[in-house]
Structure 1
């Protein structure tokens, strides 16, 4: 429910328990002053305000105020559309569904997301302009894949472009890009940067959702990966890679990749190396029912991936790996609300405080690798502190004690603010 309070208003949220996204404890009985889209003050003393001067005061009633949630691995277009939509639906409907899902995601309390495949830059521009409501978006644009790789969504009878064939439907709508060989990989990376990518997504191994590739496949040569990394670094940003296995992760790290997406089939030595090299591990707390694959081959791959979750999280904690959280829900629009449940599920592997920090300031640290491609770098994301972006959620209850509260945002999130704009107010 939008309230008509815009980002130019001065807002004081009074009498709240502030979790700043960094500390393990809250600052109680605090007032938070928001102005011009930013947090101006978090004060234990009452903040002066006069409604005659246009100050909007909101009584938080002693509730829990925290930074907006973030998701480091979404597919906004993929969340909002099925494979049938992609292959048969009108292009306009694909974008309309994506814009609608962006609004729903914001209403779940996700004020910032990193999109890891899909034409999200136009949606980001419309949201940033205020035309539509949705989270801040760090777009990767099209997922880049080799022929027969994880993001090759062509049909088996289609002729590859290398042999004179045409791009697949998912390439035409900028959801994927198939590129083989160093020159084409360079062109594909530069194409995504031209379209507004803040980081680059390569697929370096098999996956459950893909049609042709067993999980143990190695995709892209070292030279191809290094070329992508060089092209991204020339734009001041980085490469993130879909990959599960030790061999694939090793090849990615050797080539200079900064973020491993998934990694569920890694062994202990590989996780230790991820920590030693300072590489990010962008994980998802997958359970088998997060995705539904009627095809028994893909269902079996999904089961294998999910069984690695607990062990990899344990090693990541043991070796101090910089770990981000995401969902990677894809091609099943009915499953999109599971995003909130998967956020709460992080508490099965971390303390509640650790989980909340990962969901806020932790993910934001990964987002900052985009450097000058980060269009939100004028203020800090993922924290509630003087000078930060005014992205906040007022929770009815204490997630530090009961993380399951964030799994039901419709009931428990009483106030959602993004950039100083109140987008939900049930107080």
Structure 2
């Protein structure tokens, strides 16, 4: 307090305070300034975040959502419902609240609906890729093992938007740290497909998911986790106890199904293709833990012996399996298991490998692919489409072309069924662990409104899938329109 103020108080004279810091008027002014600064910081931060995401192509780009209380009616169309192997006419598609609520006769829909005229084009359900790696698809192996994990996730977000724009409205992620990406998409912060996550791929030591370098061996109890383990790409687990622990960790994080490595692979350098990985008891541990949560296990596997062991353990989805013999294929059919199979043909769209050993393994798998499709269909095995584009920055764009290749083995609509209605049945094995409520892969009353409009005729060929930029005219996911060029 100043001397003059003290003298005034002592004399009983009302002081004149030259410092107005505590005055009500000053406090009010300070409150207004602080509120304005807070608002500016908030807006600036929001702009920075949105700008960052927009710069990477991650910002939400849906053109419009449904008007609350007002349905959307797609009309003037021919549609494939995902199940019936023929194009249907004479009906419209009514969408309300993110779901298909009816298939009224043409012209019989509600008068107050927002009408989308499809111009006589082909309409299909949103496509489903049952074997995708959303975090690992668009980057190289070197980048995946060495780059900052934040950059890896940003690249995954960019690729997620491109995936949706190819017409794949749902993917089953069969291994990788995808839980955060899924959450961002579901909350509308990032554009992308629905994701059924597996989390980290479970692998035995020396298995297909063991990416450690030889100079890190032997591992001791005090060693830190390998980068791929700490990042959530893979989880090395040996013995029943560890398999149970790692399975439960993925379920805790939100896995809709569990992925195990049951045999050798092409991309990994230390596990020969003919090896059988995980003992029966270890496999059963994963199956039992998943079943306790109401879901299932899918397994990376190629060889007959390993396939038979998977089926004995209760694995519900065989991933790849191109080297299956007749007995293994019949066993899949008898067990009512699913065969998530990819058109591995060692062609221009195949994952690229510089290692001669990997190239030899790739050729061996490709030689079994044609027979696998033919024999699987002959035995009546449940078959669903997947691509498994992996660590291949230029390969993701081939996703639709990979599906079109299935018309080599079956009719175009049968091939399309594998990526719609059949794939939706496979996803339904997740039961209560499914992240989404409602049928997928079908155009039917009550199904989720994931709908595509194409230039092309699915009854005669699927070549139009190779050019979604020009041929895919409308992308709707959950009733929201993300692309419309009708």
Q: TM-score range by the shorter chain?
A: over 0.9
Contact 1:29 1:62 in 2 (8 A): no
| Structure 1 residue 117 displacement after superposition | 0.2
| Structure 1 residue 161 displacement after superposition | 4.3
2:225 to 157, 167, 177: 167
1:380 alignment counterpart: 439
| Equivalent-residue separation in structure 2 for 1:7 and 1:268 (angstroms) | 54
| Equivalent-residue separation in structure 2 for 1:405 and 1:153 (angstroms) | 38
| Equivalent-residue separation in structure 2 for 1:338 and 1:200 (angstroms) | 26
Say if 2:82 is the partner of 1:21. Answer: yes
| Structure 1 residue 45 displacement after superposition | 2.8
1:70 alignment counterpart: 128
1:329 to 371, 379, 389: 389
| Equivalent-residue separation in structure 1 for 2:167 and 2:115 (angstroms) | 21
Q: Which 5+ residue runs of structure 1 have no aligned equivalent?
A: none
Contact 2:78 2:122 in 1 (8 A): yes
Say if 2:244 is the partner of 1:183. Answer: no
| Equivalent-residue separation in structure 2 for 1:152 and 1:366 (angstroms) | 27
| Structure 1 residue 210 displacement after superposition | 0.5
Residue deviations 1:364-391 (CA, integer Å, cap 9, x gap): 1000110100021x32111111111100
Q: Tell me the TM-score normalised to structure 2 length.
A: 0.85
| Equivalent-residue separation in structure 1 for 2:155 and 2:122 (angstroms) | 32
2:464 to 405, 416, 419: 405
Residue deviations 1:73-110 (CA, integer Å, cap 9, x gap): 00001112222222221111111111111110000000
1:272 alignment counterpart: 330
| Equivalent-residue separation in structure 2 for 1:29 and 1:63 (angstroms) | 13
Contact 2:66 2:96 in 1 (8 A): no
Contact 1:7 1:419 in 2 (8 A): no
| The 10-residue stretch of structure 1 (64-73 or 288-297) with the greater mean CA deviation from structure 2 | 288-297
Matches within 5 A, 1:275-286: 275-286=333-344
Contact 2:407 2:461 in 1 (8 A): no
| Equivalent-residue separation in structure 2 for 1:327 and 1:128 (angstroms) | 23
2:425 alignment counterpart: 365
| Equivalent-residue separation in structure 2 for 1:61 and 1:162 (angstroms) | 65
SS in 2 for 1:64: strand
| The 10-residue stretch of structure 1 (40-49 or 117-126) with the greater mean CA deviation from structure 2 | 40-49
| Structure 1 residue 409 displacement after superposition | 1.2
1:138 alignment counterpart: 196
Matches within 5 A, 1:15-54: 15-50=76-111
Say if 2:155 is the partner of 1:94. Answer: no
| Equivalent-residue separation in structure 2 for 1:269 and 1:180 (angstroms) | 29
1:396 to 450, 455, 478: 455
Contact 2:94 2:109 in 1 (8 A): no
| Structure 1 residue 49 displacement after superposition | 4.3
Contact 1:147 1:160 in 2 (8 A): no
2:290 alignment counterpart: 232
Residue deviations 1:207-234 (CA, integer Å, cap 9, x gap): 1101100001111111111111111101
SS in 2 for 1:79: coil
1:200 alignment counterpart: 258
| Structure 1 residue 349 displacement after superposition | 1.0
| The 10-residue stretch of structure 1 (119-128 or 314-323) with the greater mean CA deviation from structure 2 | 119-128
Matches within 5 A, 1:101-140: 101-140=159-198
Contact 2:307 2:328 in 1 (8 A): yes
1:61 to 103, 119, 122: 119
| The 10-residue stretch of structure 1 (125-134 or 313-322) with the greater mean CA deviation from structure 2 | 125-134
1:80 alignment counterpart: 138
Contact 1:86 1:169 in 2 (8 A): no
| Equivalent-residue separation in structure 1 for 2:114 and 2:218 (angstroms) | 59
1:422 alignment counterpart: 481
SS in 2 for 1:73: strand
Quick one: structure 1 residues 168 and 350, their matched pair in 2 at CA, closer, same or farther if it must change by over 3 Å? same
| The 10-residue stretch of structure 1 (208-217 or 10-19) with the greater mean CA deviation from structure 2 | 10-19
Say if 2:217 is the partner of 1:156. Answer: no
Say if 2:379 is the partner of 1:319. Answer: yes
Say if 2:367 is the partner of 1:307. Answer: yes
Runs of 4+ in 1 over 4 A off after TM superposition: 6-9, 160-163
| Structure 1 residue 166 displacement after superposition | 2.4
Residue deviations 1:264-318 (CA, integer Å, cap 9, x gap): 1111111111111111111001121311111100011011011100101111111
**How many matched pairs?**
423
| Equivalent-residue separation in structure 2 for 1:154 and 1:402 (angstroms) | 44
2:318 alignment counterpart: 260
1:249 alignment counterpart: 307
| Structure 1 residue 6 displacement after superposition | 4.2
| Equivalent-residue separation in structure 1 for 2:156 and 2:306 (angstroms) | 31
Contact 1:33 1:47 in 2 (8 A): no
| Equivalent-residue separation in structure 2 for 1:165 and 1:267 (angstroms) | 41
| Structure 1 residue 350 displacement after superposition | 1.3
